[in-house]
């Protein structure tokens, strides 16, 4: 009689690293088939390390979505970049995302420098190929990058439309080692519902407000009350801005902007929570919150070594 050897369970942490706006969060959401991480056509949308947990028969991948790496000019932006770079030390594999044309090649040089300091396998992911009319531009770019780092694989994808993402998943699974199931199989993220709700509101501000306003905004959830008999959750949130002028923009003429932020956020929050939601949003001026270490920490932005 032959005895079946029990199949080994594989797992690993995978960091999604790249310049701002390259599509890291869009890729995470595609892999998880859920909106775990907010996205917007503006740089520095993601501000925290966001875990996305994918559990399949035989393996678990814990993705770490990260803030885009950029030239940090102040304390707040340094926290974002530190948060992203710190994930390199925790990862079993790294997806380094780039796009064509490269908006800022020097940033990618800087990321390559950092990748050179670790032994972790790195997959070069060339994203947004759906938007690339001239596919002959791929090869020279791949050659250039292959000359700079010994990549485990190079995979062109469209995170938005799904092209190439199965191939990328196959490469990632091949890199997994025997390991524990870190999270229960029904967990998609380690973040609490309150955080996800605050992020969905921030996403709408990011998408609807312009210029400096999205960067001056933080969102806190002040009340989150389940009303089971009405199958409803009552949420009150505060959109913090730094100046009165920004408050006026977020509220908009006759409150139109805030109303639209609330309408779109509520739709997404109801999808996330699977019930009716009452959403009240207030706008408050919290002067210089990005400069003050206390308010930064209060809103959840702290360097990994200070956590
Ligand atoms: N055409 C195209 N657009 C994409 C693709 N992937 C992402 N995008 C768009 O690029 C923009 C940025 O996407 P995000 O996923 O927020 O990018 P990110 O790298 O997480 O950005 P930060 O969090 O700011 O660092 C959004 O408007 C996305 O819809 C893609 O494959 N093709
Ligand atoms: Mg992002």
Ligand 1 atom closest to 19 (CA): 25
Domain range summary for the chain, segments of one domain joined by +:
10-178, 193-306
Ligand 2 mean position, distance from CA 74 (Å) = 19
String of DSSP letters for 241-263: ESSHHHHHHHH-GGGHHHHHHHH
Pocket of ligand 1 (CB under 6 A): 18, 20-26, 39-41, 43-46, 67-68, 127-128, 130-131, 158-160
Q: What is the CATH number of domain 10-178?
A: 3.40.50.300
pLDDT confidence of residue 7? 82
Fold of 193-306: GMP Synthetase; Chain A, domain 3 (3.30.300)
pLDDT in the model for residue 1: 53
- 283 - beta bridge partners? 239
Minimum CA distance residue for ligand 1 atom 2 = 128
Q: Indicate whether 88 pLDDT > 90.
A: yes
User: What is the rounded average pLDDT of the residues 190-196?
Assistant: 94
> What mean pLDDT, rounded, does the chain reach?
95
**Lowest-pLDDT choice from 37-41, 277-281, 292-296:** 292-296
How many angstroms does the Cα of residue 14 sit away from the middle of ligand 2? Answer: 15
Mutate to test the pocket of ligand 1, among 25, 26, 37, 65 (most ligand atoms within 8 A of CB): 26
Give the C-alpha distances (Å, rounded to integers) separating 164 from 9, 130, 154, 155, 176.
25, 10, 11, 7, 19
Per-residue pLDDT, 239:
98
Ligand closest to 41 (CA) is 1
């Amino acid at each position: 009689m032959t005895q079946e050897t029990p199949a080994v369970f594989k797992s690993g942490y995978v960091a999604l690293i790249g310049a701002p706006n390259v599509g890291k969060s869009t890729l995470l959401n595609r892999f998880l088939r859920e909106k775990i991480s907010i996205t917007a056509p503006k740089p520095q949308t993601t501000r925290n390390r966001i875990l996305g947990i994918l559990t399949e028969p035989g393996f678990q991948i814990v993705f770490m979505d990260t803030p885009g790496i950029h030239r940090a000019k102040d304390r707040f932006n340094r926290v974002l970049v530190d948060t992203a770079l710190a994930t390199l030390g925790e990862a079993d594999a790294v997806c380094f995302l780039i796009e064509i044309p490269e908006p800022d090649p020097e940033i990618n040089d800087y990321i390559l420098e950092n990748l050179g300091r670790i032994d972790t396998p790195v997959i070069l992911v060339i994203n947004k190929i759906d938007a690339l009319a001239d596919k002959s531009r791929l090869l020279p770019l791949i050659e250039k990058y292959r000359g700079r780092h010994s990549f485990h694989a190079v995979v062109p994808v469209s995170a938005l439309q799904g092209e190439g993402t199965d191939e990328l998943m196959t490469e990632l699974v091949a890199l997994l080692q025997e390991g524990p199931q870190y999270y229960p199989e029904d967990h998609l993220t380690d973040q609490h519902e309150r955080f996800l709700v605050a992020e969905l509101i921030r996403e709408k501000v990011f998408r609807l407000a312009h210029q400096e306003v999205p960067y001056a905004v933080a969102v806190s959830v002040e009340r989150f009350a389940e009303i089971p008999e009405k199958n409803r959750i009552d949420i009150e949130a505060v959109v913090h801005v730094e100046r009165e002028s920004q408050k006026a923009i977020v509220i908009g003429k006759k409150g139109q902007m805030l109303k639209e932020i609330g309408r779109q956020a509520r739709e997404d929050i109801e999808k996330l929570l699977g019930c009716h939601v009452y959403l009240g949003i207030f706008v408050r001026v919290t002067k210089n919150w990005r400069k003050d270490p206390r308010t930064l920490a209060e809103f959840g932005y702290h360097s990994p070594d200070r956590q």
